[in-house]
Chains A and B, each alone.
Chain A
Amino acid sequence: MELMVQLTKMNKDAGGNMKKTKKMIFLSILVTMALVIFLIEAQIPVLFPGMKLGLANSISLVALLFLGWKEALIIMFLRTMLGSMFGGGLSAFMFSIAGGLLSNIVMILLYKYFKNHLSIPIISVCGAVFHNIGQLMVYAFILNDLKIYVYLPYLLVAAIVTGYFIGILANILKNRLEKIAILK
């Protein structure tokens, strides 16, 4: 009898561990996906210097919708760190982490408090806008000059377009992921 109790206990523990492992693996798969997207995206030529599609951010957004805010931040942080290791160096890391952090925090807050009033693409647009504002903030700080803000109108237009697109993408990805039984 005692053995049975212990066995079930062990089973429960194993179940808990299983969940943890599953989550960890899922997280690392997401980070890898984000990193690969980030690296491929860096090769795509852009219309205007400094503009980017920001496809890698869709993974962060999916993590926020699917797992939670902590996981979204972890993915963003790891992706930026690994991304700048593969190409970019320390200064690139500083630029992207500032933008990424600000945009993720904005998206997290909007999702947490206004989930029922805002659609996902709009939350993504807000994230993209704040990503650019955050990056320009770091640029202005590093160059010690506010002139760089003449780029803001261009970047805002780009942010709205790409942010909306990324939001739709993240929504589709989330719906597909929800259907996978293993992840439940």
Chain B
Amino acid sequence: MKKGDKIVVIILLITMVISVGGTLIYKNIIKGSEKIAVIKSGSKIVRTIDLNKVVEEEEFTIKTENEHYNTILVKHGSIRVNDSDCLHQECVKMGEISDPGGLIVCLPNKLMISINGENINGIDGATY
């Protein structure tokens, strides 16, 4: 090991700590009792589903502008991509996600599924 190596290793360790810390903080912020799956295609939200309220399994297809598709399977408490026409099938391989902060991405089809712990799009209930 040369002299400069140590400096780089220290910088890398700091970067690691920052990124792990950032992820943990993000997961803490997003934590909540609810499970709202947000499905985004491109930069607009296509659908939001409350995973705790899903009773029956549901399968639906989301199409992109240029006729590519992802088939999404929703169960009680979890969501996954069942089928896709993208090349590497990485969205399918990611399996199902069920915790707030979970994320499935299909880059070729610009699809993103994330789970929020709280409903951001409006207040469901409030007490005074």
A interface vs B, CB < 8 Å?
49-50, 87-89, 91-92, 95, 114, 116-119, 122, 125-126, 129, 139, 142-145, 147-153, 156-157, 160
Given contacts A148-B105, A156-B15, contact A114 B23 (CB under 8 A): no
B22 touches A118 (CB 8 A): no
| In the bound complex, CA of A150 to CA of B88 (Å) | 21
Stretch from B3-11, B48-56, B118-126 that touches the partner: B3-11
- Mark B58-102 against chain A: 1 for CB-CB distance below 8 A, else 0: 000000000000000000000000000001101101100000010
| Complex partner residue of A118 from B2, B16, B101, CB under 8 angstroms | B2
| In the bound complex, CA of A50 to CA of B1 (Å) | 30
- Mark B13-56 against chain A: 1 for CB-CB distance below 8 A, else 0: 00110011011001100000000000010110000000000000
Report 5 cross-chain contacts, Cβ distance below 8 Å, ordered by A residue. Answer: A118-B4, A129-B12, A143-B110, A149-B23, A151-B103
Chain A binding surface SS class:
helix
A153 touches B19 (CB 8 A): yes
| Complex partner residue of B4 from A50, A91, A117, CB under 8 angstroms | A117
| In the bound complex, CA of A151 to CA of B114 (Å) | 13
| In the bound complex, CA of A50 to CA of B108 (Å) | 13
B105 touches A114 (CB 8 A): no
B interface vs A, CB < 8 Å?
1-5, 8-9, 12, 15-16, 19-20, 22-23, 26-27, 40, 42-43, 87-88, 90-91, 93-94, 101, 103, 105, 107-108, 110, 112, 114
B112 touches A153 (CB 8 A): no
Chain B nearest CB, measured from A44 CB (Å): 12
Given contacts A50-B90, A147-B112, contact A160 B4 (CB under 8 A): no
Chain B residues near A142 (CB-CB < 8 A) = 107, 110
A119 touches B43 (CB 8 A): no
Chain A nearest CB, measured from B114 CB (Å): 6
| In the bound complex, CA of A149 to CA of B22 (Å) | 9
Chain B residues near A157 (CB-CB < 8 A) = 16
| In the bound complex, CA of A11 to CA of B14 (Å) | 57
Chain A residues near B5 (CB-CB < 8 A) = 117-119, 122
Given contacts A91-B107, A152-B19, contact A49 B93 (CB under 8 A): yes
Q: Which are the 10 A-B pairs with shortest beta-carbon distances? A: A117-B4, A144-B43, A49-B90, A152-B19, A118-B4, A153-B20, A122-B5, A153-B19, A150-B23, A119-B2
